[in-house]
Structure 1
């Protein structure tokens, strides 16, 4: 299992990295530009990510633009939506309507609001068949 955590907040990034380490190999980036670069590199190496936790508000390129870029790349190489990387957006937004309109229309699979609830993350991972090593 390959996992990418794209998060600019040190505390959230460290917590996600430590928690997800039990699920597989975790790479970390601190902005959307690095996330896109890591995603593309993983594809080139024929070792794509299975899961990406993608923060919405990051420097350089925000999470929504990174998400769009990742989904466009998958489409360009023939990856169908059901076979694409599972992307869980992390956000400080808390309005259900705003979250639905913003994220699900953009191609993410799920979302977590901050502060991140690890029990909720566990439920999301189980929903997609992702289990600890």
Structure 2
């Protein structure tokens, strides 16, 4: 399973990357703009991400906007329905507005609140049938 971690906090990004590397190759970037560019590069190489762990609150481009753009790119590239990257939103935000926005506007698959640990990531992956 190829994954991408997107988080502006170095400690969180490093922790998530280490967890995800136990499942396969994992890249990590620090903002939504870098995430979009990294997803485009992976698609160009024919090596799309299976799962993206996305923080919501980041500088440059937040997770909501990045996810919206990634979904638009997948549509432009005619990624087969069901073959899109699964997205696990990882955020300290628990309010209903952000949860709803992540799912319904961004097409996120799972929402996990920080702080995350190995078990919460495994639970999210199992819910997506990716573990």
TM bucket by the smaller chain? over 0.9
Segments of structure 2 that go 5 or more residues without pairing to the other structure are none
Aligned to 1:65: 65
Decide whether the 8 Å contact of 1:57 with 1:63 is kept in 2: yes
Q: Name whichever of 25-34 and 111-120 sits farther off.
A: 111-120
CA distance in 2 between counterparts of 1:89 and 1:13 reads: 13
CA contact (8 A) 2:51 2:85 kept: yes
Once residues 98 and 113 of structure 2 are traced to their aligned partners in structure 1, the CA distance between those partners, rounded to angstroms, is 9
Q: How many residues align?
A: 130
In structure 1, C-alpha distance between the alignment counterparts of 2:59 and 2:130, rounded to whole Å: 29
Structure-1 residue corresponding to 2:30: 30
Matched residue SS, 1:82 = coil
Q: Mark the runs of 5 or more structure 1 residues left unpaired by the alignment.
A: none
Alignment check: 8 A CA contact 2:54 2:87 kept:
yes
Provide the TM-score with structure 1 as the length reference. Answer: 0.91
Distance in 1 of aligned mates of 2:6 and 2:62: 10
CA-based RMSD of the aligned residues comes to: 1.3
Instruction: Tell me how far apart the structure 2 counterparts of residues 71 and 63 of structure 1 sit (CA, whole Å).
Output: 12
